[in-house]
Amino acid sequence: MTGIKIIYLANIVVAGYIGITSLFFPRISAATVFQNAYPSAEFIRLIGCLWLAIALISVLGLWRPLSFSPVLLLQLIYKGIWLLVVALPAIKNNQVYPSGMAVFFLVWVLVLPFVIPWAAWVK
């Protein structure tokens, strides 16, 4: 149970920071988080909504880890898809992409399968 709480804390800090920055300071987020790969402020604000929602759900997950664990599955799926459909082709075609985000997503995709409480969902 400790591992899942560490993931929730990381979500609160990282997703919370990115969510707030993307929503209220999209130009700063474009330059830092997205490494100027995506210029659209509205796109960045949309992503900020998702990440802030993940951070808020993770706050609840600290008290009810199993009940709110589906947010971890959501992260595993969307981060994995982004890596396969956006980052990998960008790397292959030598295009601009947020490499810092790709590294973070890769770490998350490798860690989450070991933290997600799969057995609790099968009952």
CA distances from 119 to 62, 77, 123 (A): 19, 18, 7
Looking at the structure of the chain, the number of domains it has is: 1
What does the pLDDT read at residue 1? 63
Q: Which domain holds residue 23?
A: 2-122
What does the pLDDT read at residue 13? 97
Q: How far apart are CA 5 and CA 95, in angstroms?
A: 36
Kindly report the pTM of this predicted structure.
0.89
What does the pLDDT read at residue 8? 97
Count Cα atoms within 13 angstroms, Cβ side, for 88: 8
* Cβ burial 90-105 (10 Å sphere, 16+ → b, else e): beeeeeebbeebbebb
Across the 123 residues of the chain, what is the mean pLDDT of every consecutive 10-residue run?
A: 91 96 92 84 89 97 95 97 97 93 96 94 76
